[in-house]
């Protein structure tokens, strides 16, 4: 597995990287979040505090790496996406509890672990994308509507076992109970236009090409598609629908962070965690990746504002993490991906 190493803007090989970490004693981050997104945050933190941030970037495998490194791991903070992946780190026993008044004041209770093992950094909604040409405005209004037989053969989704969908399915279990949620999921499967495949943006592309009329996808992808010359026509072919505005609100997921149990630079790590939940960092997150800040009162990016306001589901993310194994089992039971 290949890991990307960035120290103060320079890229190092593993030997040099390890030596730098051993001597620097600054703050060391293992990040599953992309470099372009977190680099501006770390640069601003260093500018304000003088504390350097050393980073390993990878697409996967960082929790396993921390476990293998054990008590000698240089990692102070793990940054990742999706509540399921964050919970995997907690379940692996590599995280530590943080009790901090600044962080708790910045992040609403439903967006952090009750025991302090993880904290949300950004939010993204699980929206419905609807064809402008083939779906009338207001014709689809809730996740529950996706199981209506009127949409048979008209819905596209990525794999049912992908973390983004598992979080949504877990929220349906929390709201409706396991039996009704299973019936709903069976209805959604019956309405699929094709076997689940691709990523969220690929579902919107399928709408543009007429393969389906509806899709499920994260909100921030709408902004990313509009920014991409090739994908802009995909985004322009759909309306972004915020589901369940008349009841519980749109299901939300997060990116987040955890303090590592063996953190060699704990004080600086907590200082960085405070910074990442504050106004400056939250504004950077909002503008760079079209995500919703977790700290109340921080402005959304201007183009995100243009999509409209919405009511967010405030179901505790800890409950979604708890029910995710049940959602995975349910997906397998009904053969959603077959």
Residues of the binding site = 220-221
Q: Cite the annotated binding site for Fe cation by residue number.
A: 220-221
Q: By C-alpha distance, which of 118, 127, 46 is closest to 81?
A: 118
- Write the secondary structure of the chain as one string of H (helix), E (strand) and C (coil): CCCEEEECCEECCHHHHHHHHHHHCCEEEEECCCHHHHHHHHHHHHHHHCCCEEEEECCCCHHHHHHHHHHHCCCCEEEEECHHHHHHHHHCCCEECCCCHHHHHHCCHHHECCCCCCEEEEEEEEEEEEECCCCCCCCCCCCHHHHCHHHCCCEECCCCCCHHHHHHHHHHHHHHCHHHHHHHHHHHHHCECCCCCCCHHHHHHHHHCCCCCEEEEECHHHHHHHHCCCCHHHHHCEEEECCCCCCCCECEEEEEEEEECCCCCHHHHHHHHHHHCCHHHHHHHHHHHCCEECCCCCCCCHHHHCCCCCCECCCCHHHHHHHHHHHHHHHHHHCCCC
- Residue 191, phi-psi category: left (phi > 0), alpha (psi -120 to 50), beta (remainder): alpha
Q: By C-alpha distance, which of 260, 255, 4, 319 is closest to 107?
A: 255
What is the residue whose two structure tokens read 């921080």? 298
Instruction: Give the Cα separation of 276 and 45 in Å (integer).
Output: 8
Backbone torsions φ then ψ of 337, nearest 5 degrees = -85, 0
């Amino acid at each position: 597995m290949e890991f990307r190493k960035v120290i103060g803007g320079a890229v190092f090989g593993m030997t040099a990287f390890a030596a730098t970490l051993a001597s620097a004693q600054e703050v060391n981050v293992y990040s599953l979040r992309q470099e372009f997104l977190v680099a501006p945050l770390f640069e601003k933190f260093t500018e304000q505090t003088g504390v350097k941030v050393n980073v390993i970037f990878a697409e996967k495998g960082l929790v396993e790496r921390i476990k293998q490194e054990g008590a000698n791991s240089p990692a102070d903070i793990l940054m990742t996406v999706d509540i399921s992946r964050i919970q995997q780190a907690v379940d692996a026993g590599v995280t530590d509890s943080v009790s901090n008044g600044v962080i708790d004041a910045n992040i609403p209770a439903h967006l952090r672990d009750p025991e302090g093992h993880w904290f949300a950094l950004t939010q993204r909604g699980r929206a419905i994308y609807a064809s402008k040409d083939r779906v009338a405005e207001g014709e689809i209004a809730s996740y529950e509507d996706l199981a209506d037989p009127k949409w048979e053969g008209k819905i596209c989704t990525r794999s049912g076992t992908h973390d983004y969908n598992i979080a949504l399915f877990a929220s349906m279990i929390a709201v409706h109970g396991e039996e009704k949620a299973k019936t709903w999921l069976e209805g959604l499967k019956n309405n699929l236009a094709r076997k689940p495949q691709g990523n969220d943006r690929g579902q919107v592309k399928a709408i543009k090409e007429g393969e389906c009329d509806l899709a499920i996808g994260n909100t921030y992808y709408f902004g990313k598609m509009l920014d991409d010359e090739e994908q802009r026509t995909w985004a322009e072919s759909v309306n972004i629908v915020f589901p369940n505005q008349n009841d519980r609100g749109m299901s939300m997921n997060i990116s987040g962070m955890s303090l590592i149990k063996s953190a060699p630079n704990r004080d600086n790590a907590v200082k960085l965690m405070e910074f990442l939940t504050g106004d400056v960092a939250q504004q950077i997150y909002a503008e760079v990746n079209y995500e919703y800040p977790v700290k109340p009162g921080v402005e959304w990016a201007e183009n995100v504002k243009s999509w409209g306001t919405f009511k967010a589901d405030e179901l505790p993310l800890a409950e979604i993490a708890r029910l995710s194994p049940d959602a995975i089992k349910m997906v397998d039971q009904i053969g959603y991906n077959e």
